[in-house]
Chains A and B, each alone.
Chain A
Amino acid sequence: MGILIDENTRAIVQGITGLQGSYHTKLMIEYGTKIVAGTSPGKGGTRIENVPIYDTVEEAEENHSANASIIFVPAPFATDAAMESIENGIKTIVIITEHIPIKDSISLMAFARQNHATIIGPNTPGIITPGECKLGIMPVHIFKKGSVGMISRSGTLTYEIAASLTAKKLGQSTCLGLGGDPITGLNFIDALRMFKNDKQTETVVLIGEIGGNLEELAADYIEKEKYPKPVVAYIAGRTAPPGKRMGHAGAIIMGKAGTAESKIEAFKKARVQVAEKPSDVAELMARAVHLSSMDR
């Protein structure tokens, strides 16, 4: 269970011969992910970590019935790689690559919508369903199977919070990195919907940051839908000045839009608990789990 990926996921790695691609292929296989093939145009016919490499996604897909892809291709070529996967019927695509131009991402997302493909990222650490499958670059020892669903725009901050949840024996169903770019495939509302329907998920941690209004829209969704599972939120960037990009391409306050205050206020209005510090997330979650267990 969990969302988007599980033990039936059969993934290809696009850009498998690169430094990051080959390194993380090894780690994903070690975790138990079924990496069935890799692509690297011009290097078809070779192998890495005993994974067969093809020149095209078409061959990889035909020979191994792949249903997911993870992309490590450099930014100028990453959208090309993603579109190749979409055109060959791959429905779940994780884009690890950072620094993809907005214009390219916008075209890619339109193409994905048209073909009913799900894009995770770009600029994401990926996704992990602990104990079953990981399509990503996250260190695995901090995650543990459980019932907390995690959605985040950030990598290391997710690790920080996941580690503190695990330390409190609050394991995770699926941890999903949306990506730090302004334009990403999945957003908070998409993920909240999926977690709502996932039986393994009982609570949700939402990690947002400055920039854009997707957290506000998520808060609105939670309020209007009377979201049935407890949600705890953390928003990074309370101290960020306007007009400055804080590391992530998407983490920027424009004028007065996209501030942490606006997001925190929206969550409070939706009666979502907002943690002041990263370690408070696990505390609040432990309390929420305790309260909902008393309800039952």
Chain B
Amino acid sequence: MKLFEHEAKNILMKYGIPIPEGGLATNINQAIQVAARLKPPLAIKAQVLIAGRGKAGGILFANSVEEAQKAAEKLLNTHVKGMPVKSVWIEEKIRVKKELYFGITTDRFKQCYVAVASAVGGMEIEEIAAKSPERVIKVQINPQQGLFPYHTRWIAKKIGYTGAQILELAKTFEGLYCAGRDYDAELIEMNPIVETTDGRFIAADARIILDDNALFRHPEYKKRLLGEGGELTQQELEAMKNDLAYVKLDGNIGVIGNGAGLVMATLDTIQYYGGKPANFLDVGGGAPSERTAVALRIVLSDPNVTALFINILGGITRCDEVARGILAAKETLGVTKPMAIRLVGTNEEEGKRILKEAGLHAFNSMEEAAQQVVEISRREGR
């Protein structure tokens, strides 16, 4: 779960990390109130869960309350990179001497968290690593020990600081580590953390991605994720509530399959034959017929979908259950869009018989079915 900048900054603040003075506004009146208690110049930042919002016009500046109001009017209820702006964060602009990077992420190979720091900040860390790998410092964190103050001091020193500044900077690193640990963040970063012209350190921007699988330990965020105003679309929300994995894509062939790897491979195969998938949807293992029906409803609620591809390889999943689910959904939803079905595995014969009686053909090979659906989607597209 991605957190908004204002959520991330509030967490950082709790851990003693300095952030710019600021406040959140969801409407113009609030924006005026927040701006009035701050010292200009101000930055007005659209709260959207997308990288590169600055370049996309999502951050504006103001030298007075009136200008801040205008900026808020410009941003609120518009879109930045396709994402709706439902709130803005208004904060005092800081005087930047230098932008740094500090974050904690996971190292899959070493099976641990890793602290990453760089004396170059403000752009994506992968970009920094690609351009100047020698300027990226990594410390693998021993899971039984954690990140100690001597580690953070070492990092501060390595990125070029001396004297009392080492201690101050190290303290922000330690705070970030503790925040990430306590909130089950799979990624937490200050990018940039800024050295101000008067030598202090302030987290100018913060990004936190919480581990979805740990949300049971953080019910307040789970509630926010499933509530209004989050980043999820209607389809994603419905999928999540039904324990399905759904990702919207920009093509026109709706896809349903069982198993994440198989569905990814299905999308790739559709593209291989020249088609464009409209979504990723994994109905999971043991999909009973109702889940198949919900999956169909979600996929078909995307108006771009002109044809459907259902790819089921039954292991735990039973083909007859899936076949009944397809027919039930077809009837209740009144599905008229053409579909290609691939159905093999447990109870395959029964599943195919059920479909055949309803006049539906089921393929044995996913490649053949993919070719077929690409073909019909072309015809439908005309």
Contact = CB atoms under 8 A, between A and B. Distances in A.
Interface of A: 75-76, 99-107, 109-110, 113, 125, 137-139, 152-160, 163, 180, 182-184, 187, 207, 209-210, 212-214, 217, 234, 236-241, 243-251, 254-257, 260, 276-279
A278 B269 CA distance: 8
Contact of A138 (B111, B272, B315): B315
Contact of B259 (A103, A156, A212, A277): A156
A106 B111 contact: yes
18 contacts: A99-B213, A102-B211, A137-B315, A137-B316, A155-B262, A156-B261, A159-B345, A184-B108, A213-B108, A239-B271, A241-B247, A246-B245, A249-B212, A255-B127, A277-B268, A277-B272, A277-B367, A279-B366
Main secondary structure of the interface of B (DSSP, over half): mixed
B269 A277 contact: yes
A183 B108 contact: yes
B143 A102 contact: no
Contacts of B270: 239
Given A152-B261, A210-B264, A239-B277, A102 B245 contact: no
Most central of B112, B130, B260, B261 by chain A CB within 10 Å: B261
Contacts of A244: 247, 280
Interface string B242-262: 000101010000000111111
Nearest to A188: B109
B320 interface: no
A236 B265 CA distance: 5
A217 B257 CA distance: 30
B67 interface: no
A180 B257 CA distance: 16
Contacts of B91: none
A106 B106 contact: yes
Nearest to A255: B126
Interface in B269-291: 269-272, 277, 280, 282, 285
Given A160-B262, A214-B109, A107 B143 contact: yes
Contacts of B181: 103
B214 A103 contact: yes
A279 B212 CA distance: 33
Contact of A236 (B130, B212, B264): B264
Given A106-B113, A110-B144, A236-B268, A182 B186 contact: yes
A270 to B, nearest CB: 17
Nearest to B262: A156
Most buried by B among A157, A238, A239, A243: A239
Interface residues of B, number: 57
B63 interface: no
A276 B272 contact: yes
The residue among A103, A157, A158, A213 with the most chain B CB atoms within 10 A of its own CB is A103
Nearest to B314: A139
Q: Which of B113, B143, B213, B316 has the most CB of A within 10 A?
A: B213
A246 B62 CA distance: 40
A11 B117 CA distance: 45
Contacts of B271: 238-239
Nearest to A161: B265
B315 A246 contact: no
Given A75-B213, A159-B313, A249-B213, A154 B268 contact: no
Contact of B211 (A103, A160, A163, A257): A103
A210 B346 CA distance: 28
Contact of B268 (A100, A138, A239): A239
A183 B213 CA distance: 12
B111 A109 contact: yes
Contacts of B277: 239
Interface string B313-340: 1111000000000000000000000000
B346 A102 contact: no
B169 interface: no
Contact of B315 (A156, A217, A251, A277): A156
A50 B264 CA distance: 40
B109 A278 contact: no
A11 B238 CA distance: 39
B217 interface: yes
Contact of B112 (A104, A106, A184): A106
A102 B261 contact: no
B247 A245 contact: yes
B214 A101 contact: yes
The 3 residue pairs across chains A and B that have the minimum distance between CB atoms:
A154-B261, A247-B260, A156-B259
Contacts of A183: 106, 108, 111
A246 B264 contact: yes
B347 to A, nearest CB: 11
A245 B2 CA distance: 12
Contacts of B260: 154, 180, 209, 246-248, 251
B267 interface: yes
B211 A159 contact: no
A155 B285 contact: yes
Contacts of A239: 249, 264, 267-268, 270-271, 277
A241 B82 CA distance: 15
B21 interface: no
Contacts of B268: 236-239, 260, 277
A217 B109 contact: yes
A154 B217 CA distance: 27
Looking at B124, B216, B316, the one whose CB has the most chain A CB atoms below 10 A away is B316
A101 B315 contact: no
**Most chain A CB neighbours (cut-off 10 Å) among B184, B270, B345:** B345
A257 B265 contact: no
Given A110-B144, A238-B271, A276-B272, A76 B265 contact: no
